[in-house]
Chains A and B, each alone.
Chain A
């Protein structure tokens, strides 16, 4: 008895029993939690109780409902409800349990959880939006490739330095491997930049006369060798009616063919690779030339045929620096720029064939070997200079980035033929030139205070003839045509692209110095 009284105290303010008639009227209620008038319509108290209609219609005699939210006297309560039909099916017993305290805790937890998940979703959504926005993508690509180029520049440079220092055979092997890898990185960077340029509509096709036959010949020899290394046959066929000299963008045609041939090499493990070049026309001005690259490689599954050209699915799928990368996507876009369409046929396990047709101009001059845009290289082998005992030439280097300064110092020290001074910006370059006599100026184009373009302009307009005439070589990580043009306008004589190629650097220096010497002799 005593026990029951105590338990009643605990239970009763949380439990209520209501009897409801089949007309949904309150028959009886102990009114512990809610006050319900006898004879009143229970659905007027709360719309939950419309459910009871269904319960009368059902066979099942009892039901449970959890966590029903009810506002009562201005307070929110959470209740669990159990229903049970009377045996005669005349009435329903509704057993109400007030679970407010328990569910309030649950609510707090879910509130925090849901809010954080939604916030995360929103961030994800924003990320996706950014990614699909072309502008962002291209800018991102251009920036990233530029950012990577600078440190890569010093890696490549120091590798060159390392290579000519005293290293063991094994170390040399390792250096070669690292060098190969950084060359690959440079290619990927160039590809990335190309893609962002194509997509931003900034890549132009430049048509010029060029020696098509000898261009193809170099390609043929290179890939015959590459195929041989992989123990593959390399078949080559070129139509006899194809003229020697054509007008087109040799650089881009080369890029397309190399990408396709590399792709064929990568995915062919036995059999052959074939390059077919043909034309169906004998027109004297413009002819369609069909290029066909056929391999007996692993082939492409039908569902992937379209996808292989999508650069970004590839990026995602294969990882930025793995796999076949961006090559095919570039080929697709470049052929598009040349108003051609890249077609691919493939049977999984048997091989693939890529083909496209370019309409190229036929040069009216089919004899002269000189190509208008090629610069003849007058290269003096390093040893020849080293061997001769002569006064060292003085070179000034305008460069703000320390690692580049260091690198150049090292290169020059190893070469031994020159003495080098360094100025940290354009203003210092002018200052040095006015103070000391120099034979040549190496100029970084992006420097603080006064950049390379401005420095060159000042130099070319200088009152001192010695300064005015100094040969200038621009060094830059940037490679746009526009900048080359600007540099030329500013009076820059040569243009070298970072990462610096040691050989090209000294060749260019020698070439300019020789030219300058000759000019001086003529003038004197």
Chain B
């Protein structure tokens, strides 16, 4: 049995958390918005060099107030993915505040900030906007086109494996 690691997807609702997960695990995408309530969990084994790690990914119901997350959903996570919607500024305007909260409650656990739905925006405009708001993101992704989705999870897996050893 390979090592298993829990990853939690955080973010406002409708930003594409479930879509990113579906793209990564099943390589499919749907335009339909199906709200996630509670949590939906999927797993996928990822190869990292000669190793393998099983990512247990918790796709948690979206919220704009991170203090409202049920701690039972977040506990035991090795890594967080904070997804925002590049087309809606409101989903990243409070990013710093929410990030602070997570960093305080889960010290030392990495948070990867992902701007999703970049297929819908002008990336230069977005980058300018993010810079203006001093938002540091790790990836710009699209669940629709698949852009950076594989890379995102692959990088996280690699990071978890090297940290574990």
Contacts and interface: CB of A to CB of B under 8 A. Distances in A.
Contacts of A111: 33-35
Contacts of B151: none
Interface in A97-136: 103, 106-107, 110-111, 114-115, 117-118, 121-122, 124-125, 128
**Contact size class for B?**
20 to 34
A34 interface: no
A107 B37 CA distance: 6
**Contact size class for A?**
20 to 34
Interface in B21-74: 33-43, 56, 61-62, 70, 72-73
Contacts of B37: 67, 69, 78, 103, 106-107, 110
A121 B35 contact: no
Decide if the interface of chain A is mainly helix, strand, loop or mixed. Answer: helix
Given A67-B39, A107-B37, A114-B35, A50 B6 contact: yes
A54 interface: yes
A64 interface: yes
A66 B60 CA distance: 11
B88 A121 contact: yes
A118 to B, nearest CB: 5
Contacts of A43: 4
Interface string A47-77: 1101101100000000111111100000000
B42 A47 contact: yes
A442 B143 CA distance: 66
Given A50-B6, A114-B13, A122 B87 contact: yes
Contacts of B14: 114, 118
A46 interface: yes
Contacts of A50: 4, 6, 43, 56
A111 B87 CA distance: 20
Contacts of B70: 66
A453 B41 CA distance: 74
Given A46-B41, A54-B76, A125 B13 contact: no
B132 interface: no
Contacts of A107: 35, 37
Q: Which 4 A-B pairs have the closest CB atoms?
A: A67-B38, A54-B76, A47-B43, A69-B40
